[in-house]
Amino acid sequence: MGPGTFYVKLTKLLRTSTFQLALVYMTLFATSVFILLGFIYWATAGYMARQTDETIEAEIQGLAEQYQRQGLEGLISVIQERTAKNMDGSSVYLFTSQDGQYLAGNLLAWPEAEINEGWINFHLDERVAKPRSGDLHLVRGRVFRTEGGMRLLVGRDVHNLMEVQELVSRALTWGMGVTVALAFAGGLFMSRSTLRRIESINQTSREIMKGDLSRRIPTRGSGDDFDQLAENLNAMLEQIEVLMEGVRHVSNNIAHDLRTPLTRLRNRLENMQSHTHDPVQAQESISQALLEADRILQTFNALLRISRIESGGFQRPNQKVSLKELVADAVELYEALAQDKEQTFEADLHSDVEILGDRDLLFQALANLLDNAIKYTPERGHIKVWLERGAKARLVVSDSGVGVPSAERDKVFERFYRVDKDRSTLGNGLGLSLVKAVVELHRGRIWLEDNDPGLRVVLELPYA
């Protein structure tokens, strides 16, 4: 990894919303820490400074009172007394006459000439003080001016205070720096881990876009929100794959199923071409060709019809339909077919069931079921239709035919699916797909059961 890619990676990292969020959080956090540390400083070092100022103030006030009570002599002696007691030099005094003549105190001269009154800060250098330990301590003091124009300076060596203040402020500055650095590093770390997980999603999506639909986004198994996102996306991919598979399956089947009749159609036309001299033969070929064309159209119509029903091209059916009447009509229509195959055809319709639906579509569905039952039941077999009232209305068609192996019972509803793989047998493989579409349009369910022997198709529909 060269510096270039590192730079690219870093900019990418800095652009992530997580990092930006971390940055905002860091700013907020730093401000809070800043305020907190400011308070700590005010409460410690600030308190000490204020304390010093207060003592100086009080002392000046005391000395001023001395002066008023005992006059100049008294003040000088008090100052001398205090200077003598103050062995470590932590207190600083200077009392001068109107013309700046030294009167008392442990300072030699004024640190600055023009001070008349108020607070001053100055260093103890050899000009103002007797050299002590060599270092130039800082002094904070206050100057008081008497009515006569004499000036009194009372101060404190604030060297220790300064040290403490500096210590505290250094600690606080470092603390601040460390906080910001940690927040920044934390932000980077967090965004990196987020970025890595998002990148794994991106990577997977890119692979999927390239055509590998079987790819899935890896999960950590921690069940966190990223895992949940990944699981949802994976579930979506699963569904897309199933749908894609379905589309592929259907278009393959369309191609297969239409090739046969189209080939036959072509053969007829070819046959016609070579028999132009024989009108009877040509007529026969034309009829056959038309029949083939009709069959192809029928398949297309059925396909379109299914997809229209499935895609909601129909209004939700809302006629009141009596299932008993519907079944009776369908049975009456198809009984004749069954009788031709000497099958027993029994309808048990003692209870009537009303549902909301589209009677033509429901009849179509029922017709497809009865047609299948008759088609796949051998001669002298048994077919039975009945209605049941339960939580929902049930319509059952059973036969004694070959049945459907349990592994294929869900697949038979797919378009063009055939249990009997020989495509030359009757039907277009769309009958049950249409039934399922109609049943689902009516908010119902359909499934297959074993009739032992034979097949049982159960339709469950909500009541009106």
Partner 1 sequence: MRILVVEDDHEVAEYLKNGLEESGYKVDCAANGHDGLYMATGENYDLLIVDRMLPGLDGLALIKALRAAGRQVPVLVLSALGEVDDRVQGLRAGSDDYLTKPFSFSELLARIEALLRRGSIGSDVVTELKVADLEMDLLSRTVHRAGQEIDLQPREFRLLEYFMRHAGQVLTRTMLLEKVWDYHFDPQTNVIDVHVSRLRAKIDKNFDKPLIHTVRGAGYILREAD
Contact with partner 1 (CB under 8 A) among 375, 411, 423, 456: 375
Q: Does 297 participate in binding partner 1 (rule CB under 8 A)?
A: yes
Nearer to partner 1, 238 or 325 (CB): 325
Contact with partner 1 (CB under 8 A) among 166, 270, 332, 342: 332
- Least separation in angstroms between residue 377's CB and partner 1 is 14
CB atoms within 10 A of CB 142: 18
Q: With contact defined as beta carbons under 8 Å apart, do 403 and 451 qualify?
A: yes
Contact with partner 1 (CB under 8 A) among 53, 310, 352, 371: 371
d(CA 3, CA 148): 77
Enumerate residues 420-439 that contact partner 1 by CB under 8 A. Answer: 426-428, 431
Nearer to partner 1, 341 or 411 (CB): 341
Nearer to partner 1, 371 or 449 (CB): 371
Q: Does 363 participate in binding partner 1 (rule CB under 8 A)?
A: yes
Q: Does 301 participate in binding partner 1 (rule CB under 8 A)?
A: yes
Q: Does 315 participate in binding partner 1 (rule CB under 8 A)?
A: yes
Nearer to partner 1, 232 or 301 (CB): 301
Q: Does 262 participate in binding partner 1 (rule CB under 8 A)?
A: no
Q: With contact defined as beta carbons under 8 Å apart, do 264 and 292 qualify?
A: yes
* 340-359 footprint of partner 1 as x/- string (CB under 8 A): x-----------------xx
**What interhelical angle do 279-310 and 225-274 show, nearest 10?**
170
Report the DSSP beta bridge partners of residue 458. 396, 447
- Least separation in angstroms between residue 197's CB and partner 1 is 49
d(CA 327, CA 365): 11
d(CA 27, CA 183): 9
Query: How far, in whole angstroms, is CA 283 from its chain's centroid?
Result: 68
Within a 13 Å sphere around the CA of 209, how many CA atoms are in the beta-carbon half? 6
Q: With contact defined as beta carbons under 8 Å apart, do 334 and 328 qualify?
A: no
Q: With contact defined as beta carbons under 8 Å apart, do 450 and 403 qualify?
A: yes
Q: Does 135 participate in binding partner 1 (rule CB under 8 A)?
A: no
Q: Does 405 participate in binding partner 1 (rule CB under 8 A)?
A: no
Nearer to partner 1, 305 or 442 (CB): 305
For residue 444, report the phi and psi dihedrals to the nearest 5 degrees.
-110, -175
Query: How far, in whole angstroms, is CA 251 from its chain's centroid?
Result: 36
The DSSP-derived string for 184-203 is: HHHHHHHHHHHHHHHHHHHH
Per rule CB under 8 A, count of chain residues that contact partner 1: 34
d(CA 427, CA 413): 14
d(CA 167, CA 99): 42
Q: Does 29 participate in binding partner 1 (rule CB under 8 A)?
A: no
- Least separation in angstroms between residue 464's CB and partner 1 is 19
Q: Does 314 participate in binding partner 1 (rule CB under 8 A)?
A: yes
- In this structure, which amino acid lies at residue 346? E
Nearer to partner 1, 15 or 308 (CB): 308
Nearer to partner 1, 183 or 434 (CB): 434
Contact residues for partner 1 (CB under 8 A)?
Answer: 287, 290-291, 294, 297-298, 301-302, 305, 308, 313-315, 329, 332-334, 336-337, 340, 358-361, 363-364, 367-368, 371, 375, 426-428, 431
